[in-house]
Amino acid sequence: MAGTTVNPTRMELTRLKNKLNTARRGHKLLKDKRDELMRQFLIMVRENMELRRKVEAGITAANRQFAMSKSSMSEEAVRVAFMAPRQEVQLAEGDRNIMSVEIPVYTLKTRTPDKNDIYSYGLAFTSGDLDDAVRELAEVMPDMVRLAEVEKSCQLMASEIEKTRRRVNALEHVMIPEMEENIRYITMKLDENERSTQARLMKVKDMMLENAHHYKEREEEYAEEEMKAEALTEAEEQAGR
């Protein structure tokens, strides 16, 4: 109960009112943050679905081309073709902030800008299917990196959305109602104390006036005189009859 945990004073009432105003502002800000996170999350989820379909289609096509190249080349020839790669790939990692959530940003960098450096073998001794397979993998590589970035971002944003949702619910259903109940309790107690104080003051005032002006004695004298006047009036009426 509020009465067993709250000190019903005006200072506590002021503190609780300030705290309630802060909680309401925080609740609104957290709701706005949750809504914006949900909007960004849905955008990324849709992008994630499109990227996954694109990456899976590219990997499937590359595997198909590799299988076809193995049918026309020996396994030893395929192994020798990839023994000395000409191109190197580096992955730079950064981050960016979305509604206080640090999400990763991956940047794909190659050693040389020449797109033909993806072929580490001579074209005269390999099949065209192998060339197609390597090209498919090279084309799908940026999408794979972007897919990894988006999936990690979705995981981080989903975790932040859950935390924000719990905070919003705690403020909306626990903290704010409890503070409102405590404010009502303190207000009721202060009003009751004020009425009690006013009644005591009025009693003290009456006692002081009585001591200063002898109001009771005068009231008794007035009452006796009224009784005598009434008795005299009754006697005259009886005598007249």
99 pLDDT above the threshold of 90: no
Phi/psi at 94 (5° precision): -140, -165
23 pLDDT above the threshold of 90: yes
pLDDT tens track for 105-163: 988 888 877 777 777 776 666 777 788 888 888 889 899 999 999 999 999 999 999 99
CA distances to 9, 30, 38, 142, 169 from 176, rounded to whole Å, are 19, 14, 24, 48, 10
DSSP 82: T
Is pLDDT larger for residue 74 or for residue 14? 14
The H or E element containing residue 29 is helix 10-72
Q: What is the pLDDT of residue 3?
A: 43
Q: What three-state secondary structure class fits 5?
A: coil
Is pLDDT larger for residue 72 or for residue 212? 72
DSSP string, 133-161: HHHHHHHHHHHHHHHHHHHHHHHHHHHHH
Provide CB contacts within 8 A for 158, sequence distance 6+: 41
Q: What is the pLDDT of residue 211?
A: 66
Fold of 2-183: Helix Hairpins (1.10.287)
d(CA 171, CA 81): 63
- Contact (Cβ atoms closer than 8 angstroms) between residue 106 and residue 92: yes
pTM: 0.69
Domain borders along the chain are 2-183
Provide CB contacts within 8 A for 209, sequence distance 6+: 215
Is pLDDT larger for residue 72 or for residue 176? 176
CA distances to 44, 48, 79, 156 from 59, rounded to whole Å, are 22, 16, 19, 26
Per DSSP, helices labelled H in 73-214 are: 75-81, 128-170, 176-213
1 pLDDT above the threshold of 50: no
Which residue reads 């990227």 in tokens?
Answer: 51
d(CA 233, CA 196): 45
pLDDT tens track for 35-81: 999 999 999 999 999 999 999 999 998 888 888 887 777 777 777 77
- Contact (Cβ atoms closer than 8 angstroms) between residue 77 and residue 117: no
d(CA 87, CA 112): 7
